[in-house]
Amino acid sequence: MKESIAILGSTGSIGTQALEILEEKDQLFDIVALSANNNYHLLAKQANQFRPDHIILVNQKHRLEFENLLSYKPKYISYGSSGLNDFALNGDYDLLLNSLVGFAGFMSTYNALKRDKKVALANKESLVVGGQLISETDAFKSGKLIPVDSEHSAMLQCLVGEKSEDIQKIVITASGGPFRDFSIDQMGEITVEDALKHPNWSMGDKITIDSSTMMNKGLEIIEAKWLFNIDVDRIEPVIHPQSVIHSIVEFKDGSSKAQLGPPDMKVPILYALTYPDRVEFPNQTLDYSEAFNLNFYPVNLKQFPGLKLAMNAAKEGGYAPAVLNAANEIAVNRFLKKEIRYIDISLIIEKSLETIERDKVLDPQALFEIDKQTRNYANTLLR
Ligand code: MN
C-alpha cells in the first residue's frame, strides 16, 4: 500500500515544489491533507487537482470564497490554527511534510513526533525553538525526523553509513547572500528591495531576508546541533557563494565528505520524502564539460552580527534560541514594512536577548509564553 502524506504549508515555496515532485511521482504517496495560511486561491487549485480528504485554511476570512472554489467535496475542511494543531494530533497520515513558516510550525512537528509519525521538516523553528523538547521524543530518537533544508540534507547524506561519534566537525556552507562583499557602512544603507534579491535561491520573503543577514545560517546551526547531537563549537559556517557544496562533514581521521549539486530544493525535498531510499528523478545535475570554480571565504561576524547572536544563543540553550527567533521574526517583519532600518534587525534581537528573562524549566507552554513576551517587547523597540 502507498504511504500517505500530509503537506502543511502547501502553497509556499517548499510545498509547491513538493507537489511538483509528487505530481511527477504519483506512485510514491497518497496526498491526504493540504494546508495554507492565506493563499486560498492556490490552496483550492491544489486541492482540486490532488483531492485530499482534509484541507486546512488558517486564515478564515475568505472561508466562503474558498469553499466556492472547490470542485469536489473533501471529507474535512478545518480552519484556524486550531485546525492545524488538531490535524497533526488527530489526522490520518504516515508522513507529515512540515513546510509551515515560523514558530507556528513547532506544535505540528512536536505533535506528529509524539504520535510516532515520520516528519519531513522544512520548518526551521521547530528545532530552533523546540529542539530540546523534540530531541526527547522517541520518534526523534528512532530517526523519524528527516530534514528538508539543503544543508541538513547534505549533512544527513554525508553521514549515511557513518557513526556519529566519528564526526569531528560539521562545516555548514552559506551563500553569504547579496551583501557578502559589503562594508559595514554599506550594510547601513540596505533597503527592502535590495534585501529581497537573493543571488542563488528563490525563496519566501522572510527566509530571503534571513539569508541576507546570515541569521538563516545561525538558525541552521541551531538545527544542526539538535539533528546531529553536536556542540555548536564544532559547527563552522563558511561562505561558499556558488551554493554547489551544500555542507561538509569532517571525521576524526581527517577525512571530509561533501554533498554537491546545483542549488535546487527539489533534491533535498525528494530525499526527505524517500529517505533512506533514492528515487530516479530528472533533476538537473552539475555540468563538468565547462570549467567552474568553487570558492570558500571565512565569515566576518562583525559584518553579520545576527549570526554571532545565534551562535551565542545556541551555546546558552534553554529559551535563548526562542527569544532570538521571536525577536528576529518581529524585526524582519518590521523591516519589510519599512518601520526599521536593516541594521536595526540585529539590534532588536540583541536587546531582546539582554532583556527577556528566561530561567524557567523547559516545557511547551512556557515556550509559547516566552515567544509571545519577546514578540511584544520586540514590537515596542525603536518605535
Ligand atoms: Mn538552508
Q: How far is the CA of 151 from the centre of ligand 1 (A)?
A: 5
- CB neighbour list of residue 53: distance below 8 Å, 6 or more residues apart: 32, 33, 74, 75, 76, 92
- For residue 359, the model assigns a pLDDT of 82
Please say if the pLDDT value at position 199 is more than 80: no
Q: How far is the CA of 60 from the centre of ligand 1 (A)?
A: 31
Q: How far is the CA of 154 from the centre of ligand 1 (A)?
A: 10
- For residue 268, the model assigns a pLDDT of 98
Q: How far is the CA of 215 from the centre of ligand 1 (A)?
A: 11
Q: Of the residues 147, 178, 206, which one is the last residue of a structural domain?
A: 147
- For residue 101, the model assigns a pLDDT of 86
For residue 298, tell me if it sits in a domain.
yes
Q: How far is the CA of 214 from the centre of ligand 1 (A)?
A: 11
Helical spans, DSSP H, in the chain: 13-24, 40-50, 63-69, 80-90, 106-114, 124-135, 138-141, 150-159, 184-187, 192-195, 205-213, 215-227, 266-274, 305-316, 320-336, 344-355, 364-380
Please say if the pLDDT value at position 121 is more than 70: yes
Q: How far is the CA of 142 from the centre of ligand 1 (A)?
A: 24
Q: How far is the CA of 240 from the centre of ligand 1 (A)?
A: 13
Domain match, 77 and 166 both: no
CA-to-CA dists, residue 174 to 67, 115, 211, 241, angstroms: 42, 34, 8, 7
Q: What is the mean pLDDT of residues 192-221?
A: 86
Element (DSSP H or E) covering residue 256: strand 256-260
Q: How far is the CA of 149 from the centre of ligand 1 (A)?
A: 5
Q: How far is the CA of 345 from the centre of ligand 1 (A)?
A: 20
- For residue 70, the model assigns a pLDDT of 98
Structural domain total, the chain: 2
Q: How far is the CA of 220 from the centre of ligand 1 (A)?
A: 7
Q: How far is the CA of 247 from the centre of ligand 1 (A)?
A: 10
Domain match, 143 and 157 both: no
Digit-coded pLDDT (tens) for 140-187 = 999 999 999 999 999 999 999 999 999 999 999 999 989 999 998 999
Q: How confident is the model at residue 1 (pLDDT cuts 50, 70, 90)?
A: confident
Q: How far is the CA of 119 from the centre of ligand 1 (A)?
A: 17
Please say if the pLDDT value at position 198 is more than 70: no
Spatial distance between the Cα atoms of 85 and 68, rounded to a whole number of angstroms: 25
For residue 356, tell me if it sits in a domain.
no
Please say if the pLDDT value at position 201 is more than 70: no
Give the cell for residue 322: 526562542
For residue 239, tell me if it sits in a domain.
yes
Q: Of the residues 95, 121, 147, which one is the last residue of a structural domain?
A: 147
Q: How far is the CA of 115 from the centre of ligand 1 (A)?
A: 27
Q: How far is the CA of 148 from the centre of ligand 1 (A)?
A: 9
Q: How far is the CA of 102 from the centre of ligand 1 (A)?
A: 15
**Cα 259 from chain centre:** 19
Q: Of all residues in the chain, what percent carry a pLDDT higher than 70?
A: 98
Domain match, 177 and 116 both: no
Q: How far is the CA of 267 from the centre of ligand 1 (A)?
A: 13
Domain match, 182 and 83 both: no
Amino acid making up residue 87: F
Q: How far is the CA of 297 from the centre of ligand 1 (A)?
A: 18
DSSP code of residue 3: E
Q: What is the mean pLDDT of residues 223-252?
A: 97
- For residue 53, the model assigns a pLDDT of 98
For residue 345, tell me if it sits in a domain.
no
Q: How confident is the model at residue 135 (pLDDT cuts 50, 70, 90)?
A: very high
Domain match, 73 and 216 both: no
For residue 347, tell me if it sits in a domain.
no
Domain match, 118 and 182 both: no
Domain match, 98 and 72 both: yes
Average pLDDT, the chain: 95
Q: How confident is the model at residue 107 (pLDDT cuts 50, 70, 90)?
A: very high
DSSP SS3 for 376: helix
Q: How far is the CA of 249 from the centre of ligand 1 (A)?
A: 16
Spatial distance between the Cα atoms of 253 and 79, rounded to a whole number of angstroms: 53
For residue 72, tell me if it sits in a domain.
yes
Instruction: Find the angle CA(346)-CA(352)-CA(358) to the nearest 5 degrees.
Output: 140
Q: How far is the CA of 207 from the centre of ligand 1 (A)?
A: 9
Q: What is the mean pLDDT of residues 127-137?
A: 95
- For residue 96, the model assigns a pLDDT of 98
Q: How far is the CA of 106 from the centre of ligand 1 (A)?
A: 18
Please say if the pLDDT value at position 325 is more than 80: yes
For residue 383, tell me if it sits in a domain.
no
Q: How far is the CA of 173 from the centre of ligand 1 (A)?
A: 9
Q: What is the mean pLDDT of residues 292-298?
A: 97
Q: How far is the CA of 74 from the centre of ligand 1 (A)?
A: 34
Q: How far is the CA of 51 from the centre of ligand 1 (A)?
A: 30
Domain match, 292 and 177 both: yes
Domain match, 164 and 310 both: yes
Q: How confident is the model at residue 200 (pLDDT cuts 50, 70, 90)?
A: low
Amino acid making up residue 132: Q
Q: How confident is the model at residue 382 (pLDDT cuts 50, 70, 90)?
A: confident
**Cα 6 from chain centre:** 17
Q: How far is the CA of 156 from the centre of ligand 1 (A)?
A: 13
Residue 18's CB: how many other CB atoms inside 10 A?
28
Q: What is the mean pLDDT of residues 128-135?
A: 94
Q: Domain range spanning residue 270?
A: 152-317
Q: How confident is the model at residue 127 (pLDDT cuts 50, 70, 90)?
A: very high
CATH number of the domain residue 94 falls in: 3.40.50.720
For residue 25, tell me if it sits in a domain.
yes
Domain match, 169 and 92 both: no
Domain match, 88 and 188 both: no
Q: What is the mean pLDDT of residues 180-200?
A: 88
Q: How confident is the model at residue 360 (pLDDT cuts 50, 70, 90)?
A: confident
DSSP one-letter string for 42-109:
HHHHHHHHH--SEEEES-GGGHHHHHHH-SS--SEEEEHHHHHHHHHHH---SEEEE---SGGGHHHH
Domain match, 163 and 217 both: yes
Q: Of the residues 100, 132, 147, which one is the last residue of a structural domain?
A: 147
